[in-house]
Copies of this chain bind each other. A is one copy, B any other.
Amino acid sequence: MSRSKDALVGRSKEASAPPVALGSDFLQLDIGRAPSGGRTEWLTARLREAIADGRLAVGSRLPASRVLAAELRVSRGVVTEAYQRLAEAGQVAGRGRLGTTVVAAPPPPSPPAPRSPRPPPSPPADRTGAPFGGDAAAGAVDALRAAACRIDLSPGVPDLAAFPRAAWLRAERAVLGSLPPSGFGYGDAQGAPALRAAVADWLARNRGIRADPGEVIVVAGVAQALALLGSVLRARGLDRIAVEDPGSLGARQQLEYGGFVTVPVPVDEGGLRVDALRASGARAALLTPAHQFPTGAVLDGVRRRELLAWAAGEGEEEGGGGLIIEDDYDAEHRYDRSPVPALRSMLADRVCYAGSVSKLLAPALRVGWLLVPPGLREAVVSAKRHADLGNALLPQLVLAHLVESGGLERHLRFVRGRHRARRDAMLRAIGTHLPGARVHGAAAGLHLTVTFDGGDGGDGGARTGGAATGGAGGAPGEAFTDMDLAAAALAAGVKAHPLSWHRMRPGPPGLVLGYAAGPASEIEEGIAVLGAALREARKVFREPRQPRGGSRVVRG
């Protein structure tokens, strides 16, 4: 299969990859082995095995159903039904002329006992229509992250080529030159004092947060911040956390793994809908207020006041109120607007604040910080101590050196110009190749989001706005999804996140596009590929709907 794999997942320049080459030995399938009357199950199982062991790699395209049916000498309905079952399991996506692409390996086999420390309660009734549920989504994200591609437009990664290697090495030499031997021993699990002090300074200068170094807890990224905080809150009996919707799938999975039910609260142009948060009854909420992920909305002044009032329990009986968990993931990256102060700077007693260097410098460093209200601090530091006895020391001291020497500030100023130019390149490319797409969140950060009219077969032109469904071509449910679009792009070597991954309730299709990590030429090309996939999708869905289960549901 290596020839086919190279053609698909390697560095081909073709705009769209050919399907897996056929011969009489496609996957060495021998239909004679299938039980009579059970060919669909048999074929589905063989395809699943091939996906699981990598013979059909994520990103590869399955043969057109007509072609495979002829090859195997079965009716086309057997093949289309097998493909449909894999699609329902979230392992393949795409239909018709888009081709059917492998998007996820199967979920890992279940262990003998529940995966999370305590099985989560039944999901709330308002979690409807998510394209992926539970394990398939987790597997899909991991598989997509691991899938090879030519151009990566995944959000959340800064300009890695700009990592200041020389400055880092100089700082490490300085640290190693002055660290006393005892410094190499078991240190302070809460974090090296030098880094806690540097972080406190940085937060004061950049985010308006006044904190003592003693309030700073050094953690291994925001992921660990959520894990530690989650374990402490669970131990205190909290089992539901409100999350933004749309909102980060990764953060949601983190909380659910920790045993929480995540309650979706809608987001609009002003940020989180605080009225809906109040109505949800949740006592804690995870937010990205400075630059909402993924929509880019900024929590506006009115909503800030409402949210802080909610947290402070205004109008409630004694002991009411709520806890805000502020994920300040990319607030230092802004182009066209002034800085937004952190919520933590306004109500430290009710706000847990998390940030990291992942978007400032590089995700590989695994250094972040967490500030919590005083009543939680002891327990969170204890959780950190028991988790790993503290972060690795040398990266902490090197980072402290970079902050204190001004190196981090210089780096930020340097990359700001590069990021801005890349954002502009993406906006131009979107204007060219994705006409009618609506752009969200481009004023700051390292990603933007585009939404489309609902795959209704329209032929582009001026954006009409609103969340469109159905339309001229197909009926609701037959419209293409953003998963289809992302799958088609992946087959052509371009990785992007479907917006539906980051949604719990249904909404218009879209893509979440990172622009910081690669050069303008790759951005242009990647958006062009997405544009081609979009045009293809629109053509397909102009044709009249076919009844499900018939031989023409999936066009070869």
Check A186–B227 contact: CB distance below 8 A: no
Check B113–A235 contact: CB distance below 8 A: yes
Check B172–A185 contact: CB distance below 8 A: no
What are the residues of chain B within 8 A of A168 when measuring CB–CB?
Answer: 176
Is A237 on the interface with B (CB-CB < 8 A)? yes
Is A49 on the interface with B (CB-CB < 8 A)? no
Is A254 on the interface with B (CB-CB < 8 A)? yes
Check B367–A392 contact: CB distance below 8 A: yes
A220 to B227, CA, bound (A): 15
* CB contact list, A216-256 vs B, under 8 A: 219-221, 223-224, 227, 231, 234-237, 253-254
Is A462 on the interface with B (CB-CB < 8 A)? no
What are the residues of chain B within 8 A of A237 when measuring CB–CB?
Answer: 113
What are the residues of chain B within 8 A of A235 when measuring CB–CB?
Answer: 111, 113-117
Check B163–A181 contact: CB distance below 8 A: yes
Using known A-B contacts A176-B169, A235-B113, determine if residue A392 contacts B186 with beta carbons closer than 8 Å.
Answer: no
Check B391–A392 contact: CB distance below 8 A: yes
Quickly give the copy total for this chain: 2
Is A97 on the interface with B (CB-CB < 8 A)? no
Using known A-B contacts A182-B160, A234-B117, determine if residue A366 contacts B393 with beta carbons closer than 8 Å.
Answer: yes
Is A363 on the interface with B (CB-CB < 8 A)? yes
Check A109–B378 contact: CB distance below 8 A: yes
Q: What string of 1s and 0s marks CB contacts (under 8 Å) between A126-166 and chain B? A: 00000000000000000001000000000001001101010
Using known A-B contacts A220-B220, A227-B387, A382-B115, determine if residue A363 contacts B236 with beta carbons closer than 8 Å.
Answer: no
Check A236–B111 contact: CB distance below 8 A: yes
Using known A-B contacts A235-B116, A237-B113, determine if residue A364 contacts B173 with beta carbons closer than 8 Å.
Answer: no
Check B227–A388 contact: CB distance below 8 A: yes
* CB contact list, A360-402 vs B, under 8 A: 362-367, 375, 378-379, 382, 386-395
Is A38 on the interface with B (CB-CB < 8 A)? no
What are the residues of chain B within 8 A of A378 when measuring CB–CB?
Answer: 108-109, 111
Check B169–A362 contact: CB distance below 8 A: no
* CB contact list, A92-114 vs B, under 8 A: 108-109, 111-114
Check B157–A185 contact: CB distance below 8 A: yes
Closest to A253 in B: B386
A126 to B453, CA, bound (A): 70
Is A431 on the interface with B (CB-CB < 8 A)? no
Q: Which of B163, B185, B258, B388 is A184 in contact with, Cβ under 8 Å?
A: B163
Closest to A184 in B: B362
Check B117–A363 contact: CB distance below 8 A: no
Shortest distance in angstroms between A545's beta carbon and chain B's nearest beta carbon?
40
